[in-house]
Structure 1
Amino acid sequence: MFKTALRNVLAHKARLLMTVLAVMLGVAFVSGTLVFTETVSQASQAQSRQNLRDVDVSLRAPSGNGSGLPVIDQKLLDKSARVPGAASATGLISGFTGIADKNGALIGDPNSSKGGNYFPGADGKDARYPMRDGAAPHGPHEFALDARTADEAGYKVGDTVRLSANGPVHEQKLTGIFTTDDSAVTAGGALALFDTPTAQKLLGAPGGFQEIRIKADPGTSQTALKSAVESALPKGSVEATTGKQLADDIGKANAKKNSTMQTALLIFAGIALFVGIFLIVNTFTMLVAQRTRELALLRAVGASRRQVTRSVLTEAFVVGAIASVVGFAAGIGVGAGLRALMGSMSGNIPDGPLVVPMSAVLTSLLVGTLVTVLAAWLPGRRAAKIPPIAAMNSVHATATTKSLVLRNAIGALFAGAGIAVVLYGTGASDNKNADLVLAGGATLLMIGVFILTPLLSRPLIALAAPVLRIFGVAGTLARQNSVRNPRRTAATASALMVGLTLITGLTVVATSLQTSVEKQAVASLKSDYVVSMAGSAPLSPDVAKKLSTLDEVTAVSPLRKSFTDGALLTGVNGKDFDKVARLDFTQGSLGTIQGNQVVVDSDTAKEKGLHPGSRFPVTFADGKKSTLTVSGVYEGNGIIMGVILDNATLAPHEKTADDSQVLVKTKDGATDATKDALVTALGKNPALFVADKQEVTEAIAGAVTLILNMLYALLAMAVIVAVLGVINTLAMSVFERSREIGMLRAIGLDRPGIKRMVRLESLVISLFGGVLGIGLGVFFGWAAGPMISGSMPTYALVLPWGRLGLFFAAAALIGVLAALWPARRAARLNMLTAIKAE
């Protein structure tokens, strides 16, 4: 029986190719994901060790200081350098710094661009940043730039460069170009260095440091040095961490981030394998059906049912093993491709050698082989149950009425239970486990639809009959062929249905969410413009002050955020806030925001049990306490949220004042001339964005679209596997109906007619899967609404009719493309040879 199984694999190489491709694609994604995440993880760890090679102890400001601003002063730095066992101590400052190119545009990734201080040692050099050209910066008007950014922009030593540090724009002389392996530069950003006093001033930390890094004397361990530092410095003044612990913490953070990414990618790989199961089941079902007489003869000469089943499973094992090996090899390429793709999109992927972990090898072989064998088990079991005499008399054994009734009853139970659970989940959206309830209901419903698909195929495909009649005999034959074997048609359509269900559901939710966020954000603005920094960096208060002096501006309110007591404090200009913002109040009103009068968002009010007139204590960032009085409760949104109070109340408690955004109202509204005036007044700062309401909306839409396109790209593999399923089904069907096609040719149906028949059959099956997938996707998108609206009251279902039509057209295109090869093969059959075929 083992030899028989191997002979069958070799005898049906072309027929099994699609199955191998389907399994290979799924395995390649699994393998590629494991290779990619392990490569990134090890590269991150290597980079962390390299960056911390001269750090034995790190000192930071104690957590819980609220704003997280530098509080380590020069005295602590000097004491640290004199601690027994310390060879040197370096004070670090860091903050966003954007570099303009020669055309005034921002260079590099704004999320990774930063500025810092050049901290020379006893030899007058900073070992972290060896100068390639020029010299280190000295004085308030000089800076040094990393070599990659300088070369990209074409800057040379002596050039005057415009840059933005913490808001204001400056023109600095470039005195040095240095090489570095700093993570900001390797992540695609720019790194500017100033002397320490200049960095402290520009980056909002006058006289302070964010971190002190101490290098130990030879022979002094990191643990001993840490103990010495903690003993020598005032208790509670700093938090000390060994260099090893710091590297481990960074490694754990990276591992957690990579684990989340790995889980997401593996989910999509699992979806592709799940879709591939339909293809495998279809392939082996048809192969078994075509070999029914052969299997019957084996039974007649003494083979047992178990041996027949084992023969089919052995065949599946060989196919799965081959696909797994090829898929694993392809996965190494996928891993390298993912690293390159993610690096080009985000720039945050560190360099390092490609790593192929043993887990990728074992998982690939195990997953691919198991999926194939499990998918082939049911066809193998069916083959073994066919009586030898019945099998010899009929090539195709039809399902009994009893089995169909049982199948439909089970399918109806699953579908009904799934719908009931989904409806319950939408009604219990306040329940913290509502998402799990919805997921469970969706799973039950999908299973029910899978089981019922053969039953649904006849009436739904019958709806296409009037259109198919237009194509004459070819159309009529296509409709009959598509419902001739409902189980096969159902399995083929279900593979496509899975991909379209997920794509449609994600699109409905994303479109509804995007529309709601846009409405919520824009509706909350009376201002004509929102000013912000690239990379979500903080704004200097000078920006709001400068804008308030312009003749074109009638009202300005900076948004200044501070976290304390588990709540977000948002400081505003109480005098002008009602002119630039519009809040939706559920209780009370805006009133007058001054002194201790505040308004709170509904989430904060619910958490703390607040309502108009409530008084509640608050501890500011400097540790001082006060009591605030609530005048109103409003619905928060993507721009304005938290406890809103006057900046005059908040500012005295902040060590340094940084704004997140500035809302601006102008005399003439949002016009090109007004925007140009604002941009010019702010020094044409490359890192500052002046956006009107339309641009705010487009930014939100762009972020959602980017995420949605990434999901489409990941789901595309599942659709590709579904296409292979359609091709495979049609190719096997053409082989199975060779005699019939020969007879049709003999009685007058020409080759174009044969091609048309096969193409229309493919089109009908694909559209059937498309209708089911789009319908389920819309239903699941609707069901997710109540759960989302719990945290976003403005959420409302929006059906993207244009995209839904595009998905339906895509299903039709898949059907047409999938039929190209099978239709050509059918048309080229020799009619006499086909008529004699068994």
Structure 2
Amino acid sequence: MFRTALRNVLAHKARLLMTVLAVMLGVAFVSGTLVFTNTISDAYQRSSAKGFDQVDVAVEAKYQESKGDRLGRTPELTRAELDRSAHVPGAASAIGVVRGFTAIAGKDGKLIGDGFQSQGGNYWGTDDPRYPLKEGAAPHGRDQVAIDSETARRTGYKVGDTLRLSVDGPVLTPKVTGVFTTDDGNVAAGGSLALFDTATAQKLFGKPGTYDEIDVRAKAGTSQAALKAQLDRALPAGKTETTTGRQLADDQARMISASMSGLRQGLLVFAGIALFVGTFIIANTFTMLVAQRTRELALLRAVGASRRQVTRSVLIEAFVVGAVAAVTGLVAGVGIGAGLRSLMGSLGATVPDGPLAITPGTVATALAVGVLVTMLAAWLPGRRAARIPPVAAMSSVHAKATTKSLVLRNTLGALFSAAGVAVVLAATTMDGSDGQAPMGVGAVLLIIGVFILTPLLSRPLIAAAAPLLRAFGVSGRLARQNSVRNPRRTAATASALMIGLTLITGMTVMAGSLQRSIDKMASAAIRADYVVSMANGNSLSPEVGRKLAATEGVTATSPLRNAPSRIGGETEYLTGVDGSAIAKLTDLKVDEGAFTVAGSRVAVDDKTAKSHGWKAGSAFTVSYEDGRRQRLTVAGVYEGNEMIRGIMLDNATLTPHVKDPADMQVMVKTAGGASSAAKDRLTEALGSNPAIKVQDKKDISNSIAQMFTLMLNMLYGLLAMAVIVAVLGVINTLAMSVFERSQEIGMLRAIGLDRRGIKRMVRLESLVISLFGGVLGIGLGVFFGWAAGELLGTRMATYELVLPWARMAVFLLLAAAVGVLAALWPVRRAARLNMLQAIKSE
């Protein structure tokens, strides 16, 4: 039986090739998705990672909680704490750490990294153990800087070159004096690190004479715990807190894991889809293969093979095919994962650098899908075929699906579908995150239900195409009959395409709706032509607002200055604006009172007003950062949104109470409206600063929607593989259908249907099956997109459902193209059949 199984594998080379391709693509789909998702996840994780090899104990300032009207604050670590740390028993050395955002412009003038990945710090002394110099010397003074070796490699900067950088002030042009190596995760993931001498770093980052952290190394023989205990005794109680390097590493690992959980879960969903579609196409292929060999297996039974031997021969064949396909599929999957990452870069998505992540789990999953799934897929039909009596099987009298089994299948499908729809509809009435899990469960139930019901749905939906098929005469009528002859096979073939198009359509509906909602929010809330902000989201120097106000063509500006305060014993952030200009720069709907911001009169968004029970005319007492108190009056209540909200008061009132004024953004209105010339003037007025973004309304919308666009591009790339798998599924179905119907095709040729008519029949059959899957997928995708939008609408007041008719038409054309492409080889095979040999075939 073993030799028989191997001969069967090699005897039908075309069938072997098709089967191997089906399994290989299924494995490639799964392994490519896993490689891609692990690579992206690891890259983002590396961007958050930080080495603690040079830290035995870290000393940080302890946050002082808010009490009464006193705001919470973080004390400063001074030289005194540094000296104490360096001289405690067991300490070998202590380094004062200063860090902050530093934007480096490449030789093309563009920002290196992606804002939050562009970091700066201090180089300690002439020999900093954290950053070994690869070449050059340590920086000294404001005009010198050292950069990491990866940034030097990516940008081409060398020792002696002058580069442009900015912290939060004007552009600096220091000389590169050194290039160092580092294990900083931001650098490994594509960011940059610039180091100044300590005094310069403290001045640039607004921390003169103070440090963000003190890193202490232990002497040989001193444990981290012992050093920590010594530091706790030596440093001021209540002002500082100490953490061992081991604890820092553990805390960071947990923090990274928590921050990555959302992205990892989202990417694992894609991997699950890949596994489902890959498993599905493999099972479908082997079900058809074994069904075709029913007579052959029956003959083995007739000459003395037992049921177990027949089933075992099928499993051996499946093992050989699965093993070969799994290895080739894994290799192909690695290439696909790398290709998807490159595709994201070409689409403009920002992804951190990093190597391809090929984990043992990916290899094991690929082999399991290729071998185990293939064997499982072959075992069920092989066992079923082995149980059919040999005489009945050789006479083609084997039993088809009974009425009872069909009723059971349709009942289960209806129950799953009804439960899925009910759960999804219930989830749309919930609030935001509370409805996410129920909606996911409902979506899974509905897809399973539709999948089970697909054979039942195939008859009416394909029958709806009958009027169009009649236009093709006999070929069209035969194509329709062939499409519904075996509903389970037709449904199984269409389902792979259905799943892919469901996800693509659903995400496209959501992305289009979100983009429209964000555009609406920006246009409805902002009259300003431009919004200026830091590239990493940090605060701007007040000097930026002053420079913009003095720029030619600018008619109105207003900084948005955030400052903490205490109201009713709770911390509340105030938003300082230019009271005389804010009405010209915003267009906010006022629910009560008037939008007046001047003196002690403030404007409050509706949610904040509701939480405090305020109305127009209400008065409240605020405690500022400096401890001063003032009585403010609510002049008006406006409808806030994700872009503008909070308590607005005049900067002339707020700024005297703020220790270090800083602006989150500056709104700008120009005489001629938004234009490339106006944008260039603003950029030049700020010194073409790489740390500062000048954005118009469209730029703002695109930056907010960037994450959704990134996810959509990822989905398109991943599900493009599902479409490829679906094409192969249709090819397999048609090729095997042609093989089974060889005698029938020969008879049609004999009674007058020419080769062209045979080709048209097979081509139309493929087209109908693909369009059937496409219609189901687009319909489900629209439903899921609507449901997800209803859930999102509870948090976004401007959400509006947008149906992308043009893209859905493209998706339907894509499904049709799948059918046309998939029919190429089966059509040629059918047309080349010799009618006499086909009629005599059994």
TM-score by length of 2: 0.87
- Equivalent AA in structure 1 for residue 396 of structure 2: S
Q: Give, in whole Å, the separation in 2 of the partners of 1:450 and 1:416.
A: 13
Report whether the alignment pairs 1:829 with 2:825: no
Preserved contact between residue 501 and residue 781 of structure 2 (Cα < 8 Å) = yes
Shift of 1:583: 2.4
| Residues 255/118 of structure 1: CA separation in 2 closer, same or farther (3 Å cut) | same
| Residues 594/243 of structure 1: CA separation in 2 closer, same or farther (3 Å cut) | farther
Q: Which residue number corresponds to residue 644 of structure 2? A: 640
Preserved contact between residue 37 and residue 267 of structure 2 (Cα < 8 Å) = no
Q: Which residue number corresponds to residue 15 of structure 2? A: 15
Q: Give, in whole Å, the separation in 2 of the partners of 1:675 and 1:47.
A: 32
Q: Give, in whole Å, the separation in 1 of the partners of 2:836 and 2:300.
A: 30
Between the aligned residues of both structures, percent identity stands at 64
Structure 1 runs not aligned, ≥5 long: none
Q: Which residue number corresponds to residue 56 of structure 1? A: 56
Q: Which residue number corresponds to residue 803 of structure 2? A: 799
- Equivalent AA in structure 2 for residue 60 of structure 1: E
Q: Which residue number corresponds to residue 532 of structure 2? A: 531
Q: Which residue number corresponds to residue 544 of structure 1? A: 545
Preserved contact between residue 26 and residue 269 of structure 1 (Cα < 8 Å) = no
- Equivalent AA in structure 2 for residue 172 of structure 1: P
Preserved contact between residue 273 and residue 371 of structure 1 (Cα < 8 Å) = no
Q: Deviations over 1:18-46 (max 9, x none)?
A: 45444444445555666677789999999
Q: Which residue number corresponds to residue 430 of structure 1? A: 431
Q: Deviations over 1:767-800 (max 9, x none)?
A: 1110111011111111222211111111111001
SS in 1 for 2:667: strand
Q: Give, in whole Å, the separation in 2 of the partners of 1:793 and 1:743.
A: 65
Q: Give, in whole Å, the separation in 2 of the partners of 1:562 and 1:753.
A: 78
| Residues 343/230 of structure 1: CA separation in 2 closer, same or farther (3 Å cut) | farther
Moved more, 244-253 or 620-629: 620-629
SS in 1 for 2:173: strand
Preserved contact between residue 422 and residue 437 of structure 1 (Cα < 8 Å) = yes
User: Within 5 A, what are the aligned runs for 1:64-463?
Assistant: 71-120=76-125, 124-150=126-152, 152-257=154-259, 260-296=262-298, 316=318, 319-320=321-322, 323-328=325-330, 346=350, 348-350=352-354, 356-357=359-360, 359-376=361-378, 379-380=381-382, 382-383=384-385, 386=388, 390-394=392-396, 397-426=399-428, 428-430=429-431, 433-463=434-464
Shift of 1:813: 1.1
Preserved contact between residue 44 and residue 254 of structure 1 (Cα < 8 Å) = no
Moved more, 172-181 or 825-834: 172-181
| Residues 338/811 of structure 1: CA separation in 2 closer, same or farther (3 Å cut) | closer
SS in 2 for 1:536: coil
- Equivalent AA in structure 2 for residue 495 of structure 1: A
- Equivalent AA in structure 1 for residue 718 of structure 2: L
Preserved contact between residue 493 and residue 765 of structure 1 (Cα < 8 Å) = yes
Q: Deviations over 1:201-237 (max 9, x none)?
A: 2222233221211122222222111111111111122
Preserved contact between residue 559 and residue 662 of structure 1 (Cα < 8 Å) = yes
Preserved contact between residue 505 and residue 777 of structure 2 (Cα < 8 Å) = yes
- Equivalent AA in structure 1 for residue 747 of structure 2: M
Q: Deviations over 1:719-767 (max 9, x none)?
A: 2222221111111111111222233344454444433332221111101
Preserved contact between residue 111 and residue 690 of structure 2 (Cα < 8 Å) = yes
SS in 2 for 1:793: coil
SS in 1 for 2:701: helix
Alignment counterpart, residue 691 of structure 2, candidates 662, 684, 687? 687
Q: Give, in whole Å, the separation in 1 of the partners of 2:75 and 2:166.
A: 20
Q: Give, in whole Å, the separation in 1 of the partners of 2:798 and 2:316.
A: 56
Q: Give, in whole Å, the separation in 1 of the partners of 2:175 and 2:389.
A: 91
Moved more, 456-465 or 814-823: 456-465
Shift of 1:531: 0.7
Q: Give, in whole Å, the separation in 1 of the partners of 2:169 and 2:606.
A: 28
Preserved contact between residue 621 and residue 629 of structure 2 (Cα < 8 Å) = yes
Preserved contact between residue 69 and residue 210 of structure 1 (Cα < 8 Å) = no
Q: Which residue number corresponds to residue 748 of structure 2? A: 744
SS in 2 for 1:420: helix
Structure 2 runs not aligned, ≥5 long: 66-70
Q: Deviations over 1:585-639 (max 9, x none)?
A: 455553436548451352x556666655667787777788888765555444332
Shift of 1:277: 4.0
Q: Give, in whole Å, the separation in 1 of the partners of 2:682 and 2:201.
A: 27
Report whether the alignment pairs 1:761 with 2:765: yes
- Equivalent AA in structure 2 for residue 270 of structure 1: G
Q: Which residue number corresponds to residue 668 of structure 1? A: 672
Q: Give, in whole Å, the separation in 2 of the partners of 1:59 and 1:783.
A: 49
Preserved contact between residue 594 and residue 637 of structure 2 (Cα < 8 Å) = yes
Preserved contact between residue 43 and residue 189 of structure 2 (Cα < 8 Å) = no
TM-score by length of 1: 0.88
Shift of 1:387: 5.2
Q: Which residue number corresponds to residue 588 of structure 2? A: 583
Shift of 1:118: 2.0
Shift of 1:698: 3.8
| Residues 655/387 of structure 1: CA separation in 2 closer, same or farther (3 Å cut) | farther
Q: Give, in whole Å, the separation in 1 of the partners of 2:156 and 2:313.
A: 68
Shift of 1:810: 0.8
| Residues 400/153 of structure 1: CA separation in 2 closer, same or farther (3 Å cut) | closer
Q: Give, in whole Å, the separation in 1 of the partners of 2:253 and 2:523.
A: 40
SS in 2 for 1:95: strand
Q: Give, in whole Å, the separation in 1 of the partners of 2:522 and 2:306.
A: 70
SS in 2 for 1:169: coil
- Equivalent AA in structure 1 for residue 441 of structure 2: G
Q: Give, in whole Å, the separation in 1 of the partners of 2:19 and 2:722.
A: 14
Preserved contact between residue 33 and residue 262 of structure 1 (Cα < 8 Å) = no
User: Within 5 A, what are the aligned runs for 1:561-580?
Assistant: 561=562, 569-580=574-585
Preserved contact between residue 48 and residue 247 of structure 1 (Cα < 8 Å) = no
Aligned residues: 831
- Equivalent AA in structure 2 for residue 572 of structure 1: V
Q: Which residue number corresponds to residue 710 of structure 1? A: 714
| Residues 118/406 of structure 1: CA separation in 2 closer, same or farther (3 Å cut) | closer
- Equivalent AA in structure 1 for residue 560 of structure 2: L
Report whether the alignment pairs 1:510 with 2:515: no
| Residues 475/153 of structure 1: CA separation in 2 closer, same or farther (3 Å cut) | same
- Equivalent AA in structure 1 for residue 295 of structure 2: R
Report whether the alignment pairs 1:477 with 2:482: no
Preserved contact between residue 785 and residue 795 of structure 1 (Cα < 8 Å) = yes
Q: Give, in whole Å, the separation in 2 of the partners of 1:623 and 1:239.
A: 26
SS in 1 for 2:163: strand
Q: Which residue number corresponds to residue 789 of structure 1? A: 793
- Equivalent AA in structure 2 for residue 79 of structure 1: R
Shift of 1:654: 5.1
Q: Deviations over 1:656-682 (max 9, x none)?
A: 333221111233322344333322221
Shift of 1:714: 1.8
Moved more, 650-659 or 474-483: 650-659
| Residues 38/556 of structure 1: CA separation in 2 closer, same or farther (3 Å cut) | closer
Q: Give, in whole Å, the separation in 2 of the partners of 1:704 and 1:29.
A: 23
Q: Give, in whole Å, the separation in 2 of the partners of 1:418 and 1:354.
A: 36
Q: Give, in whole Å, the separation in 2 of the partners of 1:619 and 1:744.
A: 91
Shift of 1:303: 7.2
SS in 2 for 1:832: helix
- Equivalent AA in structure 1 for residue 164 of structure 2: R
Q: Which residue number corresponds to residue 490 of structure 2? A: 489
Alignment counterpart, residue 658 of structure 1, candidates 634, 659, 662? 662
